[in-house]
Each structure stands twice: as structure tokens, then as C-alpha cells.
């Protein structure tokens, strides 16, 4: 877990795990977040301990505590791409994300997940563009699914 972890950066609806006996507890974001709960937080969402296996082997709620690289902003993503290719790629991104989310991603209002970055890279490759897409900036955050 990041040393500068900010509990308040987690969504209010994020489910916490109180299972300290799980074999994967030390690597699970849900468990690590529950250990850093501030006393000012009166209520939290919790995964029912009876619902999950204590060994953590096949826990569907497990989230790796290591942050991953998210992209933020796509204002200049297509600047160096030929117009015909840029038009097709933009249309495909809008179909993939939906118009609202596409523009939120462009305007840095929503992070672009690693899987979404891979999808965009695939669009570039299919158009024969060898340069990797360059997003406005990159930030480390937890992949919440």
C-alpha cells in the first residue's frame, strides 16, 4: 500500500474486509483500507465475513493493494495522428466509452483505466500507427474494478 495513502480518496461505497485471518489479507486493498479507517468515520460498507472463504484463495472481492498507472486526460491524444485515422479512432473511442464518459476522460474528470488504455493502444495499432498513445498525464491509483 502506498505510504501516502489517503483514506478519503476511497469511494464511500467501497466495501471493507474485516477478515484478518485471510491468507491474502496483507495484500488485499479491502483489508488494508479497513485497518486505516479513521475514527471519525461512523459507518462503512463491509463484506459479510461468513460469505467468503477464510483462506482467501478464490475470494471474488480481493483487490491487489498495489496501485497501477491510470491515465488522465486525452486532449492531445490525436494531435500527431493523420486526420483520417484520428476521425476513425475518435469515433471508435466514443462508441466504446459512450459520449459522456469519453468527454469526461478527455477533460481529466475521469481516470482512464489500464484496460481502457490497452483498448486505445489497440485502436492505434489497427490503424497502423506505431507510436504509443500519449495521454495528458499519468497517476498511480488503485484498480477498484
pLDDT tens digit sequence for 53-101? 655 567 888 899 999 999 999 999 999 999 999 999 999 999 999 999 9
The phi and psi torsions of 102 (rounded to 5 degrees) equal -55, -50
* pTM (2 d.p.): 0.77
Output the CA torsion 55→57→5→111 (10° steps).
-150
Same domain, 118 and 91: yes
Calculate what percentage of the chain has a pLDDT beyond 90. Answer: 66
Same domain, 55 and 84: no
The phi and psi torsions of 46 (rounded to 5 degrees) equal -130, 140
Domain boundary among 40, 66, 92: 66
Q: Is the pLDDT of residue 126 over 70?
A: yes
Same domain, 127 and 111: yes
Same domain, 18 and 40: yes
Residues paired with 15 in a beta bridge: 45
Same domain, 74 and 47: no
Same domain, 40 and 73: no
Domain boundary among 26, 48, 66: 66
pLDDT class of 8 with cuts at 50, 70, 90 = confident
pLDDT class of 6 with cuts at 50, 70, 90 = confident
Same domain, 61 and 19: yes
Distances (CA, A) of 45 to 18, 48, 49, 66, 78: 11, 10, 12, 21, 41
Q: Is the pLDDT of residue 111 over 90?
A: yes
Summarised one tens digit per residue, pLDDT across range 13-27 is 999 999 888 888 889
Same domain, 58 and 86: no
Domain assignment of residue 124, given as a range: 68-141
Same domain, 60 and 72: no
Amino acid at each position: 500500500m502506498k505510504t501516502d495513502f489517503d483514506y478519503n480518496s476511497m469511494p464511500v461505497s467501497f466495501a471493507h474486509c474485516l477478515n484478518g485471518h485471510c491468507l491474502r489479507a496483507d495484500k488485499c486493498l479491502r483489508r488494508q483500507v479497513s485497518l486505516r479507517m479513521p475514527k471519525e468515520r461512523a459507518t462503512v460498507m463491509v463484506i459479510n465475513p461468513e460469505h467468503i472463504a477464510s483462506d482467501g484463495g478464490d475470494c471474488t472481492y480481493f483487490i491487489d493493494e498495489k496501485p497501477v498507472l491510470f491515465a488522465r486526460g486525452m486532449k492531445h491524444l490525436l494531435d500527431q495522428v493523420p486526420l483520417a485515422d484520428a476521425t476513425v479512432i475518435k469515433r471508435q473511442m466514443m462508441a466504446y466509452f459512450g459520449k459522456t464518459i469519453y468527454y469526461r476522460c478527455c477533460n481529466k474528470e475521469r481516470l482512464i483505466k489500464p484496460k481502457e488504455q490497452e483498448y486505445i493502444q489497440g485502436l492505434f495499432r489497427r490503424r497502423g500507427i506505431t507510436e504509443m498513445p500519449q495521454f495528458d498525464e499519468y497517476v498511480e491509483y488503485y484498480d477498484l474494478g
